[in-house]
């Protein structure tokens, strides 16, 4: 289905369980996104979208560093291939998004990365970078010495709509209706979720731990850790990554996320993207 038809079906599905008024407010929270899974054939790959491999940068683009130490390419999203489902979420012609992070976890990582990660931590902008490249100009770029290179895993991208998890600040002030009790008003996300029976069968479900755009999921029950003093409701999710064979985050485990101020996303200013991981 196309985005409009999927949203219409999602409203009907939600209205059957929440009533039309609450369902309409709930579906307003929906954001278009993609479930990312390993492509089983070349024809399934969403353009150049993949975990790992080499960066796709325009010639002359500096490789991102942390205090002079090179970051590692973690993933590439081909937004030209994803654009028809995203609508006006990001500017036309954004092209390829390269996601970099300081690799201090994998077997490849350089020991010098430990001190840098101890200095900054996983949530600071110094250890992360998102660089856009126009598809017609981007070329596969070899990394500098001490940057990790992970085996590429091409992604298929299944479109759908994501919703904020129950602890996301997007629920703050959500109107659950006049008949809801005080507990429902205190925890509107839980209230709505508990009434949505057969939720996994909804139209446009995103069934994956790796997700592009949409909303982030935080298994630890937290919310996006944006820079101090910033409002997380003014940020848009870019990419969620679970652990992969060669790369993980956060010691015992975690899911990696990147987010960006919504205004910066609309203008294509990916230099304002920040890491917002969920670590346990």
Strand partners, 257: 240
Q: Is 63 left (phi over 0), alpha (psi -120 to 50) or beta?
A: beta
∠ CA 164-166-168, nearest 5°, is 55
Class for domain 3-279, per CATH?
Answer: mainly beta
CA distance 202 to 131: 34
- Pair 34, 240: CB distance under 8 Å: no
* HEC per residue, the chain: CCHHHHHHHHHHHHHHHHCHHHHHHHHCCCEEEEEEEECCCHHHCCCCCEECCCEEECCCCCCCEECCEECEEEEEEEHHHHHHHHCCCCCCCCCEEEEEECCCCCCCCCCHHHHHHHHHCCCCHHHEEEEEECCCCCEEECCCCCCCCCCCEEEEEEEEEECCCCCCHHHCCCCCCCCCCHHHHHCHHHHHHHHCCCHHHCCCCCCCCCEEECCCCCCCCCCCCCCCCCCHHHEEEEEEECCCCCCCCCCCCEEEEEEEEHHHHHHCCHHHCEECCEEC
| Nearest to 86, CA basis, from 162, 200, 139 | 162
Strand partners, 69: 66
Integer angstrom CA distances of residue 155 from 53, 74, 84 = 12, 13, 17
Tens-digit pLDDT profile for the chain (280 aa)? Answer: 799 999 999 999 999 999 999 999 999 999 999 999 999 999 999 999 999 999 999 999 999 999 999 999 999 999 999 999 999 999 999 999 999 999 999 999 999 999 999 999 999 999 999 999 999 999 999 999 999 999 999 999 999 999 999 889 999 989 998 888 999 999 999 999 999 999 899 999 998 999 999 999 888 877 778 888 899 999 999 999 998 888 888 666 789 999 999 999 999 999 999 999 988 7
- Pair 102, 116: CB distance under 8 Å: yes
CA distance 257 to 226: 11
């Amino acid at each position: 289905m196309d985005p409009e038809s999927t949203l219409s079906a999602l409203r009907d599905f939600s209205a059957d369980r929440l009533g039309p008024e609450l369902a309409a407010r709930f579906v307003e929270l929906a954001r278009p996104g993609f479930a990312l899974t390993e492509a089983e054939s070349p024809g399934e790959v969403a353009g150049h979208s993949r975990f790992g491999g080499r960066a796709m940068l325009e010639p002359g683009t500096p490789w991102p560093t942390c205090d002079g130490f090179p970051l590692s390419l973690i993933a590439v999203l081909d937004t030209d291939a994803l654009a028809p489902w995203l609508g006006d979420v990001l500017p036309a012609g954004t092209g390829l998004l390269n996601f970099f992070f300081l690799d201090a976890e994998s077997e490849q990582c350089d020991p010098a990365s430990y001190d840098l990660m101890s200095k900054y931590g996983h949530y600071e902008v110094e250890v992360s970078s998102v660089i856009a490249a126009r598809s017609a100009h981007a070329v596969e770029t070899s990394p500098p010495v001490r940057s990790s290179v992970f085996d590429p895993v091409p992604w298929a991208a299944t479109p759908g709509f994501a919703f904020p998890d129950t602890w996301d600040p997007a629920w703050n002030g959500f109107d659950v209706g006049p008949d809801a009790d005080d507990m429902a008003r205190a925890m509107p996300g839980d209230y709505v979720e508990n009434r949505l029976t057969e939720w996994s069968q909804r139209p446009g479900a995103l069934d994956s731990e790796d997700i592009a755009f949409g909303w982030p999921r935080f298994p630890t029950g937290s919310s996006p850790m944006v820079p101090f003093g910033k409002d997380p409701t003014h940020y848009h999710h870019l990419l969620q990554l679970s652990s992969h064979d060669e790369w993980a985050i956060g010691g015992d485990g975690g899911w990696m996320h990147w987010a960006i101020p919504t205004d910066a996303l609309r203008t294509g200013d990916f230099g304002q993207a920040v890491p917002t991981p969920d670590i346990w």
